[in-house]
Structure 1
């Protein structure tokens, strides 16, 4: 549990007490996942996992780039990246890994990741025995105990390679205590709207040549994403109804339009590229339930939806972007594209045709 009076926040919940509370809650509500269990117990998910070191949990140590480069040996796995409102799962293999410093990419056709390794602070190998099955995973957490990425073993994984990797990166000291540190917001809102140089924002936006340069523009001008979208004007950003994501997914499923779906944690952006097929709403969750790609989105967390265009030498690149009540990006969608190739006209027509937020309330 975070102790805000200390610059180096350390778990203050006694480990036996935390384990007992976890077991009792899990028995009473067996459907709860680790993230929900941790929230109910008032600790981070990382703390909850660490508390079981020696009981199905093995603390791992880096260097993380070396561990990541060893992942292709595992064969087919399931990778999972999530934020507070959206879960992104892909089946595939690790390949084409490039890491330089604290940044990296995985560029396999199925597993497509952008890695920000400053947020990979804690790692564990987890064996979860529940509901009559044994689920094995590698789980990585930020300094504040927030999950940044998980890798699950499948029946098609190389079991021996998995065991060897866990043994190789097993930490010498298996401590159930997780030292937590506050993680700074990478893009804090430092200015009121009327202090933003809007002409400079628009000029910088107009001068973009690569969508990847967008974050640098925001950081330079000290504005958040939603602040920039609100201020830049209709040339580049248009607010649409929060049913836009359902319209897009259902339209793409009906037409076979290939799309790109980006979901990020602080340490990973995970990408699906291709068609989507089985779209299903269940309670507050809007889901994509395909063989090799699952998406689980809390529609009730969507506060703002924007159609955004950024210039490139090949023409504009159009995205649908969803944000929660804190201005945190939930998910971002594009049409399938490669650098240097214009975006699909069918995707642009779908995104541009989404009704304005005012029209959805008429």
Structure 2
């Protein structure tokens, strides 16, 4: 029996014992990546990594469900996959519903996966899921299936590569005053990534060293407050969830906020958000200068300092952030780090 066949057989045995087990969790129990397990599925079809053609061709399929996740958050949006722009290793999908930032250097393996909900799934070099696209009731199944069939590739196993460790400077080696001055001189939120690179900083490290009044750590319950307050007031917010290969964005109101065990969920038509709150280690209110004024966000991190989710008020270039969002974000300062969540 081949390695892939043996892995798939072990998965089937595990599923017989735990029928509701999700494939990501099953892979972890089996000591494999999710991508390895998908590649071992005899019904999965490996696809050619022609990202522009694959993503651009999805328009013909009509509404689909786009899913992007990390270890602690899952972001799902339903809508048309249109207006895809690919330039080298970067890509965008700019639509009212499907709003994505794509970092294609991290996209390595793609598969068409059958079953009850056929999908197109992309994994990085470690075999971690980057982005998934599922059919919905409104999807043109013939167009979806034809697109994936046209990109079928030679089958083969997925061999994970080791992720390079992120290197950051010790605090003592950082020119803190220069870093703070450059932060104060930001003119666009996207410049923040370059600021971190220039100074060799990790994100949480940067927040610790931020200029006065530009980053404040708050309790994890700030997430509950933002969602509950936005749902009660109708405030339109932006919710960013990503991983090294993809960031997915919701812009609009939220309505149904549903805690379920360790999960805090938004369960709205066209938008679902699922967050494992027991994996949230730190939350920060962050302020970045732009040409349109200060842009305020709530940013949440896990125990490894990886970004889980960001919340903003709805905003477009050329316009200042919503005063109601600024007021809500400022109110989070009263939730001290370590304060128990109301949902706990």
Give the TM bin, normalised by the shorter chain: over 0.9
CA contact (8 A) 1:238 1:356 kept: no
Q: Could you tell me which residue of structure 1 aligns to residue 136 of structure 2?
A: 154
Separation (CA, whole Å) in 2 of partners of 1:157 and 1:90: 14
Within 5 Å, which residues of 2 pair with 1:146-295? Answer: 146-171=128-153, 173-175=154-156, 177-184=157-164, 188-295=166-273
TM-score by length of 2: 0.96
The DSSP-based 3-state class of the residue aligned with 1:180 is coil
Separation (CA, whole Å) in 2 of partners of 1:116 and 1:179: 21
Alpha-carbon offset, residue 72 of structure 1? 0.7
Greater alpha carbon shift after TM alignment, 63-72 vs 280-289: 63-72
5+ long unaligned stretches in structure 2? none
TM-score by length of 1: 0.91
Alpha-carbon offset, residue 98 of structure 1? 1.1
Within 5 Å, which residues of 2 pair with 1:68-83? Answer: 68-83=55-70
Within 5 Å, which residues of 2 pair with 1:8-27? Answer: 14-27=3-16
5+ long unaligned stretches in structure 1? 1-12, 129-133
Alpha-carbon offset, residue 37 of structure 1? 0.7
Q: Deviations over 1:123-159 (max 9, x none)?
A: 000012xxxxx11000000001000000001121111
Separation (CA, whole Å) in 1 of partners of 2:216 and 2:88: 37
CA contact (8 A) 1:76 1:157 kept: yes
Separation (CA, whole Å) in 2 of partners of 1:358 and 1:21: 43
Q: Could you tell me which residue of structure 2 aligns to residue 10 of structure 1?
A: none
The DSSP-based 3-state class of the residue aligned with 2:118 is strand
CA contact (8 A) 1:260 1:333 kept: yes
Separation (CA, whole Å) in 1 of partners of 2:338 and 2:6: 53
Q: Could you tell me which residue of structure 2 aligns to residue 64 of structure 1?
A: 51
Q: 1:46 and 2:35 equivalent?
A: yes
The DSSP-based 3-state class of the residue aligned with 2:290 is coil
Picking from 57, 79, 82, the partner of 1:92 is 79
Q: Could you tell me which residue of structure 2 aligns to residue 131 of structure 1?
A: none
Alpha-carbon offset, residue 62 of structure 1? 2.4
Change over 3 Å in CA distance of 1:17–1:240 after alignment to 2: same
Separation (CA, whole Å) in 2 of partners of 1:356 and 1:87: 25
